[in-house]
Amino acid sequence: MAISDHVNLEQFMEGLKRRNPGEIEFQQAVYEVASNVFDYIADKEVYHDEQILRRIAEPDRVVSFRVCWEDDNGNIRVQRGWRVQNNNSIGPYKGGLRFHPSVNQSILKFLAFEQTFKNSLTGLPMGGAKGGANFNPKGKSPREVMRFCQSFMNELYRHIGEDTDIPAGDIGVGAREIGYLFGQYKRLTNRFVGVLTGKGMEFGGSPIRTEATGYGTVYFMESMLTNVKDSVEGKRCLVSGSGNVAQYAVEKINQLGGKVVTLSDSSGFIYDPNGVDEEKLAWVMDLKNVRRGRLSEYAEEFGCAHQAGRPWDVEADLAFPCATQNEISTEEAKVLIKNGIRGVSEGANMPTEQNGIHAFTEARILFAPSKAANAGGVAVSGLEMSQNSARITWKEEELQKLLLDIMTGIHDRCAEHGRTSGDDYIDYVKGANIAAFIKVADAMLAYGVV
């Protein structure tokens, strides 16, 4: 068959939308990859003939299950849980678990699809998956969270394993939840194995897994700036979110001499022109990780502004969206550009709307897409798996160096495939999509039609 007889991008997307009706986040994530990959494979017949992209965009399996639990008042509550195993061509399924009321199949399919490409970029042997539940941890007692995690694992344990599928944390799933989940897995199976990552240091966790995503996102920004003979030092930075990724992005920005002037949560954002320094960050960690309070308390404590909405109309040099998907609208991207933003590094997964990404790349803003910029977390998860298999724990300095090396490697791989004709601008979106696709696609070609 001649290449011109194969489906084009529009026909491909039409089919995808028909097969996945209403799953707008999944459609958005696939489109972002497909628009670059279709250009790349235009003259590569084998990828068309073997339907590689069509196969990557069809999850290997989607498991959906009921999760019943009893709240503190004795009421029976029913949630829906999922595990989406997208692709295991280059390693066992790997990806986080999200507990948030907004979780649905579309969101988990987009995250599992993205994870497949992100994991490929790390250079480590990990396939892509994601899971979670429409459970809202806000306002729940620790015992309620524990009972929910145990009930969730009562079903999930059948589908995971240290060589099959290795979940970790994401929104609403941190060290506490991973502890409860691992405790239940161990009880059900009587096996102590590396089946989850992000574990506590007492039971097989890895040094710097907690810090890795936030640190990595800032390392990626530093690599992009180094490439244009600049650095994070002295830059005014906007950070959104105030959870795990945001907290360690702030820590690394401070270490590199930048100043963070915003943070956000689901109730709004704070603007602190004096900067979120080390002491204030420790206060935020206690607020969010221990007391589980709201950022408005920061404004009262440190005497600064708190308002509803998102921080993108504050003037700054660099932006680090670290909360959730589609948190930078196209209009907000344009405001950032008008206000002189120089670089954006995505700590959250797919935080920028599709046309917002176009606006950034057209304006020649240094733009690091999430699958590259936030891969540090899953990379250190991969290193946690290696340590668990060998039953040893590596030294922190060793892991710090490995994280930096992996992030620099991802930057260089994206740069290699992201060169644009006509100027020196690097399109990191295109670079990340193509570099990630090649590895997964070539493994799939090797397996034949499976």
Could you tell me which residues are beta bridge partners of residue 97? Answer: 131
Question: Strand 165-168 and strand 128-133: pairing?
Answer: unpaired
Helix (H, G, I), strand (E, B) or coil at 211: helix
Between strands 259-265 and 93-99, the pairing is unpaired
Paired tokens of 412: 């260089």
Minimum CB separation from ligand 2IT for residue 384, in Å?
A: 8
Binding mask 83-102 for ligand 2IT (x = CB under 6 A): -----------xxx------
Could you tell me if 178 and 168 are in contact, meaning their C-beta atoms sit under 8 angstroms apart? yes
Q: Is residue 252 close enough to count as binding ligand 2IT by CB under 6 A?
A: no
Beginning with the edge strand found earlier in the chain, give each strand of the sheet holding 93-99 in spatial order: 61-70, 76-87, 128-133, 93-99, 165-168
Span interacting with ligand 2IT, options 16-24, 277-285, 336-344, 374-382, rule CB under 6 A = 374-382
Q: Among ligand 2IT, ligand NDP, none, what does residue 95 contact (CB within 5–8 Å per kind)? A: ligand 2IT
Take residue 310 and report the two structure tokens written for it. Answer: 């998102």
- Work out whether 170 is an interface residue with ligand 2IT (CB under 6 A): yes
Say whether residue 349 binds ligand 2IT (CB under 6 A). yes
The reply to whether 118 belongs to the active site is: no
Q: Which is nearer to ligand NDP, 266 or 420 (CB)?
A: 266
Find the shortest distance in angstroms from Cβ 115 to ligand 2IT. Answer: 6
How many residues are given for the chain?
450
Asked if residues 254 and 260 have their Cβ atoms less than 8 Å apart, the reply is yes
Query: In angstroms, what is the minimal distance from the CB of 155 to ligand 2IT?
Result: 19
SS (H, E, C) 189-205: HCCCCCCCCCCCHHHCC
Binding at 241: pick from ligand 2IT, ligand NDP, none (beta carbon under 5-8 Å per type): ligand NDP
The closest alpha carbon to 325, from 53, 17, 66, 29, belongs to 29
Cα distance between residue 336 and residue 324, in whole Å: 18
Whichever of 349 and 352 has its CB closer to ligand 2IT, that residue is 349
User: What, of ligand NDP, ligand 2IT, none, does residue 181 touch, CB below 5 to 8 Å by kind?
Assistant: none
Instruction: Looking at 163-243, list the stretches that DSSP marks H as alpha helix, in order from N- to C-terminal side.
Output: 175-189, 209-227
Shortest spacing between CB 265 and ligand NDP, in angstroms: 3
Catalytic residue among 94, 109, 130, 259: 130
Residue whose CB is less far from ligand 2IT, 175 or 335: 175
Q: Using CB under 6 A as the criterion, which residues of the chain lie in contact with ligand NDP when the complex forms?
A: 102, 169-172, 174, 213, 241-246, 265-266, 322-324, 347-349, 374, 377
Report, as residue numbers or ranges, the catalytic residues.
Answer: 130
